[in-house]
Structure 1
Amino acid sequence: MQEQSAGRGPRHVAIIMDGNGRWAQKRGRPRLFGHHAGARRVKEIVTACPDFGVEYVTIFAFSTENWKRTQTEVAGLMSLFRRYIIKEMQEFVRENVRVRFIGDRPRLDAKLRQLMDDAEAMTQACTGTNLTIALNYGGRDEVSRATQRLAHDVAEGRLRPEDVNEETLPKYLDTCVLPDPDLVIRTSGEARISNFLLWQSAYAEYEFIDTLWPDFTPEIFGELLRGYGARDRRFGAVTA
C-alpha cells in the first residue's frame, strides 16, 4: 500500500445512502416515497463522477439486516430495484457506466437475480464509471462466504494453509475485481459503518454528514471530494 499525498482526489468512493425514510416522513409521505427519491439521486451522482475524477462508486442499497423491516417496505424496495434496473440500464450503457452487484444473491427472487445478471452483461464492455450496487450485502456475511470458499480450496488441495494471508482472502471477496475504497460517505447524521465493506475500508477516509440522501447533490459531493484531497494519507507511515 502506497502513501497518497494531499491534493489527489479519491479513485473509489463508497456511499451509505441513509435517510430516505426520514426525508419522506418529514414531508408527510410514506417511506417508499423517499426510497424512490433516493434512487433518482443515485443516477445524478453516478453521472457526475467523471467530472470529479471518481472511477469507482459503490452504493449500499440493501443490507442483510434490512430484511427486518416491515414486509411492505421490503416488498416495495424489491419492486423498486427491479424497476430501477429495467429503467436505467440502457441509460447507463449510453453513459458508459459499468454495473456490478455484490452481496448474497440466493435470497433474492429469481426475476431480480436475472435482471442483475442481465445488467452486468449489458454493461460489461463499458469503460467509464464503475458502479457497484451492494444488494443483500453485509460485510460480515461477505467475509464468512469468502472464508468458506477459501476453506474449500484448502480442503481440495488448491491452496496451502500457510499461503493464507491478508493478500489471499481479498481474492475470495465479492469485491475481488475492485480497488479498496478511498473515501466512505454516510448521509443522514448517523456516525457508524453498519457492516459495510468492513475488510475493504480498513484504510478509507470517512465523512459522516447530516444531509439526508435525497438531498445529497453533486455540489455537496464535490465539496466532500475536495476535502478529501486536502487530507494527508500516510497509511501508518510518518510524513517526512
Structure 2
Amino acid sequence: MEKDMIQSLLRLIGVYKIYEKWLSKVIERGEIPAHIAIIMDGNRRWALKRGLEPWLGHRAGAKKVEEVIRWCLKLGVKVVTLFVLSTENFRRDERELKELFSILREKLEEYLKGDLLHKNRIRIKVLGRKDLLPGELREALEKLEEITKGYDNLFVNLAIAYGGRAEITDAARSLAKDVLSGKVKIEEIDEELISRYLYTADLPIQDPDMIIRT
C-alpha cells in the first residue's frame, strides 16, 4: 500500500506543477493584493481526521509556509501575515504545545541557515506577546527579526502568541503612557494615531487586502 501511495504521489507531482503554473497565470491577470493575511487553521483537524497525532498536522502545515512565501514573491505581494499561534491556543494540551513549539523552532532554524530570506530580501516581524513563548523559540524569532530588519522586498509577519484583544490592550497601554507623559494630547487621538501603536505600525501596508483561512 505504501508503494502504491508513493507511485501515486510521484504521478501527481507533475500534474500539480502544471496546475500551479496555470493558476499563477490566471491570478496575474487580475489585481494582485498588496497584503495577504493567512489564518493557518485546520492542521489539527486534518491530522485527527486521519488518525494522526495533532502535531503531525502542524508539521504538514509548516512545510507549506515556504511554498506560500515563494508564491507571494513571484506574484509581487508586498506583505504576508501568517497567523500561526493565537493566545487562545495556549489552552491546548501541554504535549501538543510542546511539539508545536519544537516544530516552529526547527523551521526557524532552517530559515536562519538557509538563503531564502537573504536572497529575496525578506523581512521577518513577530506580532504577538513573545514573552509567553519558550526561551529558545523566542531567541530564534528575535534573531530572525534582527538579521532581516534592513530588508524591504517582502514583509512576512509571524503572528505568534497573538490575540486581537491583546494587541488592543498593548496599544492602549502604550498610548496611555504617552498621554500621561505629555507626548500625546487626548484631543489628538484618532484612528490614524491609534494605528501607530499597533503591532503593524511600521509596515508599509498595515491592513490586509485579502484574508485566507486554511
Q: Shorter-normalised TM-score: what interval?
A: 0.7 to 0.9
Find the partner of 1:60 among 83, 95, 103: 83
| Residue matched to 1:127 | 152
Alignment of 1:205-224 (within 5 A): none
Amino acid at match of 2:210: L
Alignment of 1:5-154 (within 5 A): 7-89=30-112, 90=114, 91-154=116-179
1:132-158 CA distances to partner (integer Å, 9 max, x unpaired)? 100000011101110000001000111
Distance 2:199 2:32 in 1: 25
Q: Give the whole-Å Cα distance in 1 for the aligned partners of 2:190 and 2:209.
A: 22
Q: What corresponds to 1:186 in structure 2? A: 213
> What letter matches 1:15 in structure 2?
I
Q: Which has the larger radius of gyration?
A: 2
The number of aligned residues is 182
Query: What is the distance in 2 between the residues matched to 1:61 and 1:25?
Result: 19
What is aligned with 1:161? 186
Moved more, 108-117 or 52-61: 108-117
Alignment gaps of 5+ in structure 1: 1-6, 188-240
Q: Distance in 1 between matches of 2:63 and 2:111?
A: 10
Q: Which structure has greater helix proportion?
A: 2
Shift of residue 11 of structure 1? 0.2
Question: Which of 170, 175, 179 does residue 195 from structure 2 map onto?
Answer: 170
**What is the alpha-carbon distance in structure 2 between the residues aligned to residue 125 and residue 156 of structure 1?**
31
| Structure 2 Cα separation of the partners of residues 139 and 81 of structure 1 | 21
| Contact 1:16 1:60 (C-alpha < 8 Å) held by counterparts | yes
Displacement of 1:126 in angstroms is 2.6
Bigger shift: residues 109-118 or 149-158? 109-118
Q: CA deviation at 1:25?
A: 2.1
- TM-score, length of structure 2 as denominator length: 0.81
Counterpart-to-counterpart distance in 2, 1:136 and 1:104: 5
| Paired residue secondary structure (1:127) | coil
Distance 2:122 2:159 in 1: 16
Q: CA deviation at 1:37?
A: 0.7
Partner AA of 2:43 in structure 1: N
Q: Which has the higher contact order (CA 8 A, sep 6+)?
A: 1
